[in-house]
Amino acid sequence: DTEVTQTPKHLVMGMTNKKSLKCEQHMGHRAMYWYKQKAKKPPELMFVYSYEKLSINESVPSRFSPECPNSSLLNLHLHALQPEDSALYLCASSPMLGQGDEQFFGPGTRLTVL
Amino acid sequence: AQSVTQPDIHITVSEGASLELRCNYSYGATPYLFWYVQSPGQGLQLLLKYFSGDTLVQGIKGFEAEFKRSQSSFNLRKPSVHWSDAAEYFCAVGSYNFNKFYFGSGTKLNVKP
Interchain proximity A105–B103, CB inside 8 Å: no
CB B95 within 8 A of CB B83: no
Q: How far is the CA of A88 from the CAs of A81, A107, B72, in angstroms?
A: 14, 9, 31
Rounded Cα distance between A19 and B7, Å, is: 38
* Length, in residues, of chain B: 113
* CB nearest B99 (choices: A43, A98, A107): A98
- To the nearest whole Å, the CA of B95 is away from the closest chain A CA by 6
Confidence check: pLDDT of B98 > 70: no
Question: If pLDDT is split at 50, 70 and 90, which confidence band does B31 have?
Answer: confident
User: Chain B residues with CB inside 8 Å of A4's CB?
Assistant: 43
Rounded Cα distance between A32 and A104, Å, is: 9
Confidence check: pLDDT of A47 > 90: yes
Rounded to the nearest integer, the mean pLDDT of chain B is 91
User: Which residue type does A37 have?
Assistant: Q
Q: Which of A34, A103, A109 to mutate to test the interface with B (most CBs of B within 10 A)?
A: A103
Question: If pLDDT is split at 50, 70 and 90, which confidence band does A2 have?
Answer: low
Provide the β-strand partners of residue B92.
Answer: B34, B103
Q: What is the pLDDT of residues B48-80, one digit of tens each?
A: 999 888 899 999 999 999 999 999 999 999 999
Question: How does B67-84 read in b/e, with b if 16+ C-beta sit within 10 Å?
Answer: beeeebbbbbebeebeee
Question: What's the N-to-C CA distance of chain A in angstroms?
Answer: 36
* pLDDT for residue B54: 84
CA of residue A88 relative to chain centroid, distance: 10
* pLDDT for residue B101: 83
* pLDDT for residue B23: 97
CB A106 within 8 A of CB A90: yes
Confidence check: pLDDT of A25 > 70: yes
User: Chain B residues with CB inside 8 Å of A92's CB?
Assistant: 44
Q: Which of A6, A86, A102 to mutate to test the interface with B (most CBs of B within 10 A)?
A: A102
Rounded Cα distance between B106 and B19, Å, is: 15
Question: If pLDDT is split at 50, 70 and 90, which confidence band does A40 have?
Answer: confident
* pLDDT for residue A12: 96
- As a whole-number percent, the residues of chain A with pLDDT over 90 amount to 84
Question: If pLDDT is split at 50, 70 and 90, which confidence band does B28 have?
Answer: confident
* pLDDT for residue A34: 97
- To the nearest whole Å, the CA of A1 is away from the closest chain B CA by 15
Confidence check: pLDDT of B100 > 90: no
